[in-house]
Amino acid sequence: MTILVEKRSGYRLITLNRPERLNALTLRMGDALYAALGEAEADQSCRAVLLTGAGRGFCAGQDLAAVGEAPLGDILEHYNPLIRKIRALPLPVVCAVNGVAAGAGANLALACDIVLAARSASFVQAFARIGLIPDCGGTWFLPRLVGAARARGLAMLAEPLPAEMAAEWGLIWQAVEDGKLIDEAHVLAARLATQATQGLALTKRALDAAEINDLDRQLDVERDLQAEAGRTADYTEGVRAFLEKRPPVFTGR
């Protein structure tokens, strides 16, 4: 099985599982990952997702031995829905980058909401090495996360960016000691799974909308999404818990 799914308390752990190929993606694997995300979304008890890779790599991007199976544009017809799915998933997605994240593998990680990486991991926009452009959202994520100059350097030089520098540059949330990565990622996913799930989903939507809106339009988006957040039971609970000076018990509703 190229994708492993484990149900944990409140969240699902999804593991890319072709360790002998550094979890390089094939079409079947991309489709299986898409299906796993859909199943997580459909499961009422699932309130967060944790994505990681088996073995010493996170994901080496498209399996270059399998590119012959379809034209490149057709391959992206399979991967683009995956990136859209992660961004639109009404659940927080934590990514634990356990080793090298290259090409589409790097941008798969960047599509997630909170990215932790092992100190020994690195991010490589490997595309330029083989005459391609950054895909799976790379040309959109990079300038927004690290600015135009660094985006161009990463995309055109295709050099590995070590995890710590990735965190310093704002490409990811945190670099973590190798031995602590997976435990810390689980703690984070478990914590997010106890939060106001709908509020977090609306936060994702608002932040993505902000990438294309001017302030005027974004204030309207905030008004509309906040009205939705204000109709959730978790909002009622959050305020009540604050006034009663106790921790909130959110149900994700």
98 binds ligand LHQ (CB under 6 A): no
State the nearest-atom distance from the C-beta of 218 to ligand LHQ, in Å. 32
Do the Cβ atoms of 54 and 4 come closer than 8 Å? yes
175 binds ligand LHQ (CB under 6 A): no
State the nearest-atom distance from the C-beta of 139 to ligand LHQ, in Å. 12
Closer to ligand LHQ by Cβ: residue 156 or 219: 156
Q: Which stretch binds ligand LHQ (CB under 6 A): 19-27, 113-121, 179-187, 233-241?
A: 19-27
Do the Cβ atoms of 151 and 125 come closer than 8 Å? no
Burial code (b: 16+ CB inside 10 Å, e: under 16) for 117-146 equals: bbbbbbbbbbbbeeebebbbbbebbbbebb
Find the DSSP H helices in the chain: 27-42, 72-88, 104-110, 138-146, 148-157, 163-169, 181-192, 197-210, 215-229, 233-243
Closer to ligand LHQ by Cβ: residue 127 or 235: 127
163 binds ligand LHQ (CB under 6 A): no
Considering only residues 100 to 129 of the shown chain, the ones binding ligand LHQ according to CB under 6 A are: 100, 102-104, 124, 126-127, 129
Closer to ligand LHQ by Cβ: residue 22 or 185: 22
Q: How far apart are CA 220 and CA 110, in angstroms?
A: 27
Q: How far apart are CA 16 and CA 25, in angstroms?
A: 9
157 binds ligand LHQ (CB under 6 A): no
Greatest alpha-carbon span in the chain: 62
Q: Which of 64, 227, 239, 249 binds ligand LHQ (CB under 6 A)?
A: 64
Considering only residues 65 to 94 of the shown chain, the ones binding ligand LHQ according to CB under 6 A are: 65, 67, 72, 75-76, 79
What token pair was written down for 24? 């390089």
DSSP 3-state of 105:
helix
Q: Which of 132, 182, 206, 241 binds ligand LHQ (CB under 6 A)?
A: 132
Closer to ligand LHQ by Cβ: residue 97 or 104: 104
18 binds ligand LHQ (CB under 6 A): no
Q: How far apart are CA 248 and CA 38, in angstroms?
A: 28
User: Rule CB under 6 A: which residues touch ligand LHQ?
Assistant: 21-22, 24, 60-65, 67, 72, 75-76, 79, 100, 102-104, 124, 126-127, 129-130, 132, 135
